[in-house]
Amino acid sequence: MQRFNTPIGVQQGSKILFSDFADGGRMWVGEGERDSRHQVTFTEAYLSPPAVMIGLSMWDMDNRTNLRAHIAAEEVTETGFQIVFRTWGDSRIARVRADWTAIGQLADSELWNVG
């Protein structure tokens, strides 16, 4: 559990990760393990890596194959993180949009740094 003793910052965003059906991209025509990575940079840095929640807000998948998807926030730092979407097998993913929320500690201008 994280305990916050300073101001808390919440940042949110939405990102279209790919539209592979439009140009025959590997998520649409490929097979086996595939991933798509996208860097997100926060508008303001946190004091330490924040808690990041990711969710699929739009997905368009071929119904003739198995629907397989994994989405996660990886490499979370004070200044940003990567959205990682993975699929595998014969899954055909046309497009995906992810929404995210980051919650963490911000610097407190009222506190003195006596060090």
| pLDDT in the model for residue 113 | 65
| Residue 112's pLDDT band (cuts 50, 70, 90) | low
- The tens digit of pLDDT for each residue in 3-16 reads 777 899 999 999 99
| Residue 109's pLDDT band (cuts 50, 70, 90) | confident
| pLDDT in the model for residue 11 | 97
- For the chain, give the number of residues: 115
**pLDDT higher than threshold 90 for residue 108:** no
Residue whose pair of structure tokens reads 């998520």 in the numeric block: 27
- The tens digit of pLDDT for each residue in 24-57 reads 889 899 889 999 999 999 999 999 999 999 999 9
Alpha carbon of 16 to those of 12, 48, 102, 105: distances in Å? 14, 27, 18, 27
Domains plus CATH for the chain?
8-105 (2.60.40.2080)
